[in-house]
Amino acid sequence: MGKPDNSDLSVIPIYGKCSPFNPPKPESSWVNTVIDMASKDPARVKYLSTLVAQKTTAVPIASGQQVLNIGNYVVRVKLGTPGQLMFMVLDTSNDVAWVPCSGCTGCSSTTFSPNTSTSYGSLDCSLPQCTQVRGLSCPATGTAACSFNQSYGGDSSFAANLVQDSLRLANDIIPNFAFGCINSVSGKSVPPQGLLGLGRGPLSLVSQSGSLYSSVFSYCLPSFKSYYFSGSLKLGPIGQPKSIRTTPLLKNPHRPSLYYLNLTGVSVGKVRVPIDPEVIAFNPNTGAGTIIDSGTVVTRFVQPLYEAIRDEFVKQVKGPFTSIGVFDTCFDATAETQAPLLTLHLEGLSLTLPMENSFLHTSAGSRACLAIAPVPNNVNGALNIIANLQQQNHRILFDVANSRLGIAREVCN
């Protein structure tokens, strides 16, 4: 492996100017754009609820909104030898990385070509990595390619073979990196140039990079409007913030890939909303609790907590209130400067969301909407999700080795 260094691995919005993907029409308001991006949230929330048991390098991050016309964040990586550039979605709730491969049915025009890589290798069913994939399809006897099928986003699926090749992140090379080589896709939610899983499973980047990054990474997500690779994914303990407030990272055996936090309450302005602690409690037996996720767009709360937040907000802000799409607490934007901010109370720290992480505006700027939503009714298990819109312009530090998550304000637009 190459030695870790301090080069940046950027993260960009999907619609950034550096992105090969089409941006929304200029006349589209950011409320409507985010509503459109968040339209896949209910399916993703349902998908997350089904995930049951089974050194520093800095990589640029961009909003997928600017690059791929999706509500996720992407990083530039190179796969193979020589390296083939791919814009892969960053996903903290998935483990296995995967990319569309040449000859794929239903994939985008940009694919990875195994035939042109001198370091490419296939993996068969007899190898230990193969047993670590969800949706495995292997014969009972004999050797065969390690093939698997997975759903993604709640409304899409793909078929792939587990393979290995060199993965380049900025100046680091991870040899023999195992990932899915997709050969067919059904549905429209599968990221067009693949996904880089940062979850807790054995095939995630965190696990496969081993001692290189010491199970430590952080990111700063720029706003969806940021056009360039201005965000960053920092891998490894070197160069991470020294003084950062932390909260315990919890592991839930019911959904072992996800990063759980202990949410103890929410305040609207100075008022802590009334909520039965049991409603938001971490429960390792059912999978209930609160996760932090890079792939969901709008923060979702279970219905009782969402209603308590909304009702208190309505008390403090001058109406009338209207609904726009998923947002049911929209008001005259002239009242925004007096509107209360939300504070998420986590064990060991409280995070007060700045205005930009709390409100969205219509194109004319006349209406502002409280940018949170309830968990969809069709989701089993009480799962609150702190989503990427609320994480923007913060450094989110995942110290998996020491089971802690840090949060610090950092403008990376």
User: Is residue 67 located within the same domain as residue 216?
Assistant: yes
* 298 token code pair: 């709008």
Residues 374 and 385: their CA atoms lie apart, in Å, by: 10
User: Is residue 202 located within the same domain as residue 278?
Assistant: no
Instruction: Check which CATH number belongs to the domain holding 374 and give it.
Output: 2.40.70.10
Look at strands 84-91 and 195-197 and give their pairing: parallel
91 in catalytic set? yes
Which of 235, 266, 300 represents a domain boundary (last residue)?
235
User: Is residue 274 located within the same domain as residue 195?
Assistant: no
In this prediction, residue 10 carries a pLDDT of: 75
Which of 235, 270, 289 represents a domain boundary (last residue)?
235
The string of pLDDT tens digits covering residues 94-127 is: 999 999 999 999 998 999 999 999 999 999 998 8
- Within 250-326, residue ranges assigned H as helices are 277-280, 303-316
Domain count, the chain: 2
* 140 token code pair: 């009972």
In this prediction, residue 16 carries a pLDDT of: 62
Angle at 49 between CA 352 and CA 15, to 5 degrees: 60
Which of 215, 235, 255 represents a domain boundary (last residue)?
235
Query: Which residues, in sequence order, are CB contacts of 182 under 8 Å at separation 6+?
Result: 98, 99, 100, 101, 104, 107, 158, 159, 160, 190, 194
Query: Which residues, in sequence order, are CB contacts of 149 under 8 Å at separation 6+?
Result: 135, 137, 157, 158, 159, 160
- Rounded to two decimals, the pTM is 0.87
Burial (0-12, 13-18, 19+ Cβ within 10 Å), 334: exposed
User: Is residue 211 located within the same domain as residue 280?
Assistant: no
Out of 41, 95, 172, 293, the active site residue is 293
By residue range, what is the domain housing residue 399?
245-409
Angle at 209 between CA 203 and CA 215, to 5 degrees: 95
Asked if residue 257 is part of any domain, the answer here is yes
Preceding omega of 175 cis (within 30 degrees of 0)? no
Half-sphere exposure of 44 (CA within 13 A, CB side): 26
- CA 53, distance to chain mean position in Å, is 20
In this prediction, residue 53 carries a pLDDT of: 44
User: Is residue 259 located within the same domain as residue 380?
Assistant: yes
Listed as ranges, residues in the chain with pLDDT below 50 are: 1-7, 27, 53-54
In this prediction, residue 261 carries a pLDDT of: 97
User: Is residue 298 located within the same domain as residue 204?
Assistant: no
In this prediction, residue 1 carries a pLDDT of: 46
Out of 41, 91, 95, 399, the active site residue is 91
293 in catalytic set? yes
